[in-house]
A and B are shown apart, each in its own frame.
Chain A
Amino acid sequence: MGLTAGTPLREIKVDTVFLGSCTNGRIEDLRVAAGLLRGRKIDPDTRMMVVPGSAAVKLQAEAEGLDRLFIEAGAEWRGAGCSMCLAMNPDKLRPGERSASTSNRNFRGRQGKGGRTHLVSPAVAAATALTGRLTDPADVPTSPGA
């Protein structure tokens, strides 16, 4: 995993935040994440992909305006699908890259050969996207747009 013993989780830098999958891509998950991102920008060196768990969830999220919150924060608003949960399509980590992912499997190479996966909740995923490091949502100040 390219980690040194004793490193606090908060110091671990991630390259990609993947919010999605059938496991954690419900409308409730997207609401929690969008609420944390409202009125903020994600870390410029971090890529965030938001992939609804189904087409129905995608339509519901768009009806609620969540897609705009993600896009304005600098995240990618994507079609429903498996995406980086299992690296079956081009959504994959490059060797050595690190992700914070709301999917539920972290087998070696699961998100791309040589990739490193940290499984997180949707709230931690959003907080992590803001800082570029694994971040506790409790450490994010109350949203300025809330």
Chain B
Amino acid sequence: MEAFTTHTGTAAPLRHANVDTDQIIPAEYLKRLTRTGFDDGLFVDWRRDDPGFVLNLPQFATASILVAGPDFGIGSSREHAVWALLDGGFRVVISARFGDIFRNKSTKAGLLAVILTQREVEALWEATEADPALPVTVDLRAKEVRCGASVMPFQIEDYTRWRLLEGLDDIGLTEQHRADIEAYETRRPTWLPTVLPVRSG
């Protein structure tokens, strides 16, 4: 997965609380065997029904940071919600609280879920609504969000931060042990199943 160190982009203010994964991407958009192209279902009902929905506004069309109300990503366990946000051009979601499952999945796919206070979220809403082109920097090394003159530190577990900085998803983590896995496979009787491609000869 793509490593996350520092990202600077513009932010879209999503003034909704309790955004569940059925709103992020309805189930009928999950029927795909690949892991790409889920942006077609991203917030699709809101995008279709509400011309004023933030992601329908041209000034927020290229936003890469989503600033949402509290309890973002609650609801069904749905990795497609993370993929849809990534496919829709987002690298960061900021909220005062996240659904645990969503947050866990996001860190495994390279989408950074940043927890700020609701007061800071509201300051970002006001700042980006006043100036949609305002650059916002999310610095995972320094563990802070910078916007204009304000610096907003955030907490993140060391392990999750390390994985994101290194760009290690679950497969990448496993492949860190590739030498050990290969050594094990050479000792393993040939008639047993292997996790590596079939050995020639």
Binding site for B on A (CB under 8 A): 86-88, 92, 105, 107-110, 113
Mark the stretch among B20-28, B138-146, B167-175, B182-190 that contacts chain A: B20-28
Known: A86-B76, A113-B45. A107 touches B20 (CB 8 A): yes
| Cα distance A88–B28 in the bound complex, in angstroms | 4
The answer, yes or no, to whether B75 is at the interface (CB within 8 Å) is: yes
15 chain-A/chain-B pairs, Cβ below 8 angstroms: A86-B27, A87-B27, A88-B31, A92-B28, A105-B75, A107-B20, A107-B21, A107-B75, A107-B76, A108-B22, A108-B23, A109-B23, A109-B26, A110-B22, A113-B45
| Cα distance A15–B22 in the bound complex, in angstroms | 22
Contacts of A92 in B (CB 8 A): 28
Contacts of B20 in A (CB 8 A): 107-108
| Cα distance A136–B26 in the bound complex, in angstroms | 32
| Cα distance A88–B22 in the bound complex, in angstroms | 11
Closest Cβ–Cβ distance, residue A131 to chain B (whole Å): 29
Within 8 A of A (CB), among B38-87: 45, 75-76
Binding site for A on B (CB under 8 A): 20-23, 26-28, 30-31, 45, 75-76
| Cα distance A109–B21 in the bound complex, in angstroms | 11
Closest-by-CB residue of B relative to A88 is: B27
A107 touches B27 (CB 8 A): no
| Cα distance A133–B91 in the bound complex, in angstroms | 47
**Most B-side CB within 10 Å, residue of A86, A87, A107, A109:** A107
Closest-by-CB residue of B relative to A90 is: B28
B30 touches A88 (CB 8 A): yes
Contacts of B23 in A (CB 8 A): 107-109
B28 touches A87 (CB 8 A): yes
Contacts of A109 in B (CB 8 A): 22-23, 26, 45
Contacts of B22 in A (CB 8 A): 86, 105, 107-110
Closest Cβ–Cβ distance, residue B169 to chain A (whole Å): 25
| Cα distance A107–B27 in the bound complex, in angstroms | 12
Contacts of A108 in B (CB 8 A): 20, 22-23
Contacts of B27 in A (CB 8 A): 86-88, 110
Contacts of A113 in B (CB 8 A): 26, 45
| Cα distance A113–B23 in the bound complex, in angstroms | 10
| Cα distance A110–B28 in the bound complex, in angstroms | 10
Contacts of B28 in A (CB 8 A): 87-88, 92
B26 touches A105 (CB 8 A): no
Closest-by-CB residue of A relative to B31 is: A88
| Cα distance A4–B140 in the bound complex, in angstroms | 49
Closest Cβ–Cβ distance, residue A138 to chain B (whole Å): 32
| Cα distance A86–B75 in the bound complex, in angstroms | 12
Contacts of A86 in B (CB 8 A): 22, 27, 76
Contacts of B26 in A (CB 8 A): 87, 109, 113
Closest Cβ–Cβ distance, residue B41 to chain A (whole Å): 11
| Cα distance A110–B27 in the bound complex, in angstroms | 8
| Cα distance A19–B98 in the bound complex, in angstroms | 31
Closest-by-CB residue of B relative to A104 is: B76
